[in-house]
Amino acid sequence: MTAAGAWNLPPLREGHAADDALIERRARAAGPADAVERAGEAVIGGVRCLVIEPRGCDARGEMIYLHGGGYRLGSPLAYVDYAQRIADEAGWRIILPFYPLAPEQPFPAALHAVVAVYRGLEDRQSVVVAGDSAGGGLAAALCIVAARAGERPAGAVLVSPMLDLTARGESLDRNAARDPMFSKAAVLDSAQLYLQGHDPRDPLVSALEADPADFPPTLVLTGGAEVLLDEVVAFATRLALGDRRVTLHVAPGMGHVWPLLAPETGEARDAVAAIAGFVKALEPAQSGVSM
């Protein structure tokens, strides 16, 4: 096991209280009250997690899936049904951590928590790290610090990930009218509350700036109509040019995190099937972007 110091996590920082509007938004987005009853619970690495088992078979692997919400809201409780679909299709156990939120706990508190979960698993290097939106950005950060510590995960699945907190992508404006669930203003608000003065170009918050060598085989999924499209495509291209194994899945016409938010669509089913196929395979393949 790698020594704790080898992970080189930035030190924790104090944040500030959330305003009433954000607290109300968190309550609305918390998820159904019976979600815990439909999932198992565990404390892994000192962090509370929901654990979703595949139905009809023993789990063949484990995936840490990090919820979205712009680092400032969201909960695993809203992900139980979605995670169950992935678990059943892939035959894998899905672990949904309750990581700390900003602004009360800014960067890097969430990263500390998900690293603790990752290090709390017995067979870390067979684990797939996944997440959507801010959770996708956090999953990318986990991949980076794990690789630097010599404990790279088996793979990564990033769904509509936030990969550039400087908000430079042209699709933030170009797709603004087509993606009702997310916006450039939401990216900038998330960045302000999460970073609280930290450099937005740090690869641990904007993985578009990261060294491709820090990433395992990676599946990246994006909607063709979402505001984050450009940064996601640029990230996948950067991994491919860095000779990493990466698959880019683009769902035409779909907006932000469509597999969760539009679960009855064929595009959502295709995305879950792509995730399941990716985690089942994970064998060496030629590097490059496949579409």
Burial of 122 (C-beta count, 10 Å sphere; 0-12/13-18/19+): exposed
Packed helices 80-90 and 266-281: angle between N→C axes, nearest 10 degrees: 50
Q: What is the DSSP string of 96-125?
A: EE----TTTS-TTHHHHHHHHHHHTSTTGG
Question: Does residue 137 contact residue 194 with C-beta atoms inside 8 Å?
Answer: no
Does the annotation count 290 as an active-site position? no
Sign of dihedral through CA atoms 120, 274, 202, 210? positive
Convert 207-243 to b/e letters by CB count within 10 Å (16 or more is b): bbbbebebbbbbbbbbbbbbbbbbbbbbbbebbbeee
As a whole number of angstroms, the distance between CA 159 and CA 144 comes to 17
In 196-265, which ranges are continuous DSSP H helix?
Answer: 229-241, 258-261
Q: To which residue do tokens 């698993």 refer?
A: 121
Catalytic residue among 133, 171, 190, 206: 133
* 3-state class (DSSP) for residue 50: strand
Indicate which residues carry an active-site annotation.
133
